Structure 1
Amino acid sequence: MQPNQAQALYWSSESGQKWIWFETELDLVFSAVDDALIKRAATQPGERILDIGCGTGATTRAFVPRVAPSGKITAVDISPAFVSHARDRAKLTADNTEFVVADAQSAEISGAPFDLVISRFGSMFFADPVEAFRNILKQMKPAGRLTIAAWAKAKGNPWFEAPKSAAVKILGPLDQSNPNAPGPLGFQNVEHVVGILKEAGFQNVEGETATVELAHPGPVERVAALASNIGPAARIIKKYDGSAGDIEAITEFVVADFRKFVGSEDIRIPANLNFFTAQRVG
């Protein structure tokens, strides 16, 4: 069994497929995170980029103009469905991208060595993160850079906190005692992740928590449905085989919580995110 088989199964399940079903809205909501990554990555034309946990390819597509015209992006994900979908999208948008089904913890990835490694919410799921980042480090150029975004703690993060609280109340907890276990919140502890990257061999490692506003045109019921179908709430729903009625009840709870974020033009939800940067030296 591959080290990340559990993750491969999850992202191939109905819970994982929701990222394809809700793709358009998720791309819109998380575009601000892509902008924050782009700002921190300082990408240059002609660079070769590795995108880890690329999902349906939104972050890859956001970086394409940054490496044009001669650069290339290799994007990997453990989900064949995600990669297939991203390839179909790429046919219409860019010819300097390659989408590959691979487990970045162990795979040798085509396109190496890379100038830059990026990840938006795709690097928190490794069974052995130190081993994974060691493998990634080996496939980077000397002076290659790493820039990744992950979720900070659920508390104070309404996008996760409201749906998770509702799901726990209605269905039950995940019974996950290790706060750093692989999952959406696996990189919530900045010091822990900085230690992982240093142990893997990265240098000039830095981590920071920053607030990014997630914007959606509404209505609030739609935003609540989106937040209730992904992240920790989705994992709780899957664990307890939640019914349509359970999901509706969770969504109603989130609607009530999200009303305070409704503005005159759109809905803006503050999100606390952890950003990490590091380098391969030598």
Structure 2
Amino acid sequence: MADTPTQTELWNGPAGHAWVTAQRILDEMFNGFATHLAQTVPTNANWRVLDVGCGTGDTTLTLARRLGPGGRATGIDLSAPMIEVARQRAVDAALPVEFIAADAGQPPLPAASIDHIVSRFGVMFFDNPVQAFTRLRETTRQGGTLHAVVWRSAADNPFMTTAERAAASLLPLPPRVPDGPGQFAFADADKVRWILESASWSEVAITPLDMSCEIARDDLRTYLSLLGPVGTALRNETLDAAEREHILDTLEAAFSPFIVGDRVQFTAACWVIKGANP
């Protein structure tokens, strides 16, 4: 069995390129979160905001539009392919946004240089979360704040595990590692509180957020073929075209409970994590 790839290898390899390919679909799916996070900063605020795990930049660009000319939005992500796309999007939008291809757990930014940190599903992938949140806190000014959105449990998010369950007998899928970096790594609110408090964040609050999400029915097959453990297996396995289409047909059928007309709709069950640098 091949060694498990590191986060750097994963997000600079096929997984990162898959997210680039699916950028439009994911932006539509998670549009509500970009709006939610942008609303955590005042309109036209003279704030310096850091978007952790910014991906292809949708949330960062939304923040920049809300901040206006007096503020500054910076996105950081481990994935060079996604950062390349984000930079081009900033150029196309004529927004003065900085994008950094680096480990957000070791941000190459001066101490106390950030007013506010946001993250949409970007903080669950740290190999050493206490160390990472300590460095992020040190990057914020005194009184600086954190507002991150993470997934609750797999059981709370059946949409996100439907493909794995449907493909379990069709593809060899790696088991999820409950305590390792990954989508549901922050499902346990008590664990998350311990991480932040161990990193010396104060005023820690963890509250549920249920967000309605949707994509076009016509985009479901592309989404399934690219993302998650099933997307990885479909890329890595030696499958002929007929086998691949059969698997995708099976997966699409499994998502019938989420299909409403020409849309695919689900509720994302998340935690909102807040903290302050004392």
TM above 0.5, one fold? Answer: yes
Unaligned ranges ≥5, structure 1: none
Provide Cα deviations, 1:144-195, integer angstroms capped at 9, x if missing partner: 110111122122413311012123332234234x413101222222221121
- Matches of 1:73 and 1:215, distance apart in 2: 27
Partner residue, 1:207: 206
Partner residue, 1:96: 96
Paired residue secondary structure (2:49): strand
Give the direction of change, closer, same or farther, for the CA distance of 1:77–1:242 in structure 2 (3 Å limit): farther
Equivalence map 1:149-160=2 (5 Å):
149-160=149-160
Give the direction of change, closer, same or farther, for the CA distance of 1:116–1:36 in structure 2 (3 Å limit): same
- Matches of 1:21 and 1:111, distance apart in 2: 35
- Matches of 1:48 and 1:114, distance apart in 2: 5
Partner residue, 1:66: 66
Partner residue, 1:261: 258
Question: TM-score if structure 2 supplies the norm length?
Answer: 0.88
Deviation at 1:216, TM superposition (A): 1.6
Deviation at 1:130, TM superposition (A): 0.4
Partner residue, 2:216: 217
Partner residue, 2:272: 275
Deviation at 1:248, TM superposition (A): 3.8
Matched AA of 2:250: F
Give the direction of change, closer, same or farther, for the CA distance of 1:246–1:153 in structure 2 (3 Å limit): farther
Give the direction of change, closer, same or farther, for the CA distance of 1:143–1:112 in structure 2 (3 Å limit): closer
Deviation at 1:229, TM superposition (A): 2.3
Matched AA of 2:179: N
Is 1:130 paired with 2:127? no
Partner residue, 1:23: 23
- Matches of 2:191 and 2:232, distance apart in 1: 23
Partner residue, 2:56: 56
Unaligned ranges ≥5, structure 2: none
Deviation at 1:6, TM superposition (A): 0.9
- Matches of 1:250 and 1:110, distance apart in 2: 49
- Matches of 1:129 and 1:266, distance apart in 2: 36
Provide Cα deviations, 1:78-122, integer angstroms capped at 9, x if missing partner: 111111111111001143210111112223326951111011111
2:237 to 236, 241, 255: 241
Matched AA of 1:216: I
Paired residue secondary structure (2:130): helix
- Matches of 1:245 and 1:110, distance apart in 2: 53
Question: TM-score if structure 1 supplies the norm length?
Answer: 0.87
Partner residue, 1:105: 105
- Matches of 2:238 and 2:49, distance apart in 1: 39
Deviation at 1:200, TM superposition (A): 0.5
Paired residue secondary structure (2:217): coil
Matched AA of 1:143: G
Are the equivalent residues in 2 in contact too, given 1:152–1:274 (CA < 8 A)?
A: yes
Give the direction of change, closer, same or farther, for the CA distance of 1:236–1:126 in structure 2 (3 Å limit): farther
Give the direction of change, closer, same or farther, for the CA distance of 1:71–1:7 in structure 2 (3 Å limit): same
Which moved further from structure 2: 129-138 or 158-167? 158-167
Give the direction of change, closer, same or farther, for the CA distance of 1:249–1:49 in structure 2 (3 Å limit): farther
Query: How many residue pairs end up in the alignment?
Result: 272
Partner residue, 1:32: 32
Give the direction of change, closer, same or farther, for the CA distance of 1:263–1:180 in structure 2 (3 Å limit): same
Give the direction of change, closer, same or farther, for the CA distance of 1:117–1:102 in structure 2 (3 Å limit): same
Provide Cα deviations, 1:180-236, integer angstroms capped at 9, x if missing partner: 3101222222221121111111011111222111112323xx324314521343355
Are the equivalent residues in 1 in contact too, given 2:157–2:268 (CA < 8 A)?
A: yes
Deviation at 1:247, TM superposition (A): 5.0
Partner residue, 1:170: 170
- Matches of 1:188 and 1:236, distance apart in 2: 24
Are the equivalent residues in 2 in contact too, given 1:204–1:279 (CA < 8 A)?
A: yes
Aligned CA RMSD, in angstroms, stands at 2.3
Give the direction of change, closer, same or farther, for the CA distance of 1:133–1:250 in structure 2 (3 Å limit): farther
Are the equivalent residues in 2 in contact too, given 1:184–1:232 (CA < 8 A)?
A: no
